[in-house]
Copies of this chain bind each other. A is one copy, B any other.
Amino acid sequence: MASLLRKVELFYDVLSPYSWLCFEVLCRYQKIWKINLHLRPTYIAGIMKSSGNKPPALLPLKGKYMLMDLEYLREFYQVPIQVPKDFFSVILEKGSITAMRFLTAINMENPEMLEKASRELWMRVWSRAAKKAGLSEEQAKGLLEKCSTDKVKNSLKETTDVAFNYGAFGLPTVVVHVDNKSHMLFGSDRMELLAHLLESWKSSGKTKSKVTDNGPGCSG
């Protein structure tokens, strides 16, 4: 049965609130959509650097819009995002290398805790409602020590390179594996499309366009 599940990789960084939305939608729907979800902690600054992209909030009007957009999406997706008061310093200055190395270490040592720990980190950055992921003090200490090892550092770097090689220019990036092909989707706003593609790939093996060239036929 497991072999019938399509593998879907989510490349994410806890600095990205849109990654959080994507993460929660995929966690909620993984059974309904019959996907084998692989959580891939990634370093967003690495993706930005490799691709030459810039964080959207650097453009003042986009930054301003994001505040309202996240407020609406918080309610739409029922994910308790609360934009911190020092929004710009969080996104643009603090960086996420330690957090993402920590999640990489968890993925290597205690992969079963990765989902909860990722959610806890988002809650800490993006919500006032942080909860404990259930790590013991000893476990947390051990993982923090591992963060500075080359093994963990290289693993995060490798994952970031993998995402870039799929064509990523930002996060969240979702890669769907079907029939030995990979399909990349960018952003939390392609989830309805993902559900649709999973369905059409299931029935036909590939997406076939049903659109004819006889016009849209969609006058209002």
Listed in ascending order, the chain A residues whose CB lies under 8 Å from chain B are 24, 26-31, 37, 51-53, 59-62, 64-65, 68-69, 71-76, 78-80, 82, 115-116, 119, 123, 127-129, 131, 167-169, 183-187, 189-190, 192-193, 196-197, 200, 207-216, 218-220
Is the beta-carbon distance between B78 and A116 smaller than 8 angstroms? no
Is the beta-carbon distance between B59 and A211 smaller than 8 angstroms? no
Shortest distance in angstroms between A9's beta carbon and chain B's nearest beta carbon? 15
Give complex CA distance A78, B196 in Å. Answer: 13
Give complex CA distance A189, B37 in Å. Answer: 23
Given the interface contacts A123-B215, A220-B31, does A169 sit within 8 Å of B61 by beta carbon?
yes
* Residues in B neighbouring A167, C-beta threshold 8 A: 61, 64-65
* Residues in B neighbouring A208, C-beta threshold 8 A: 75
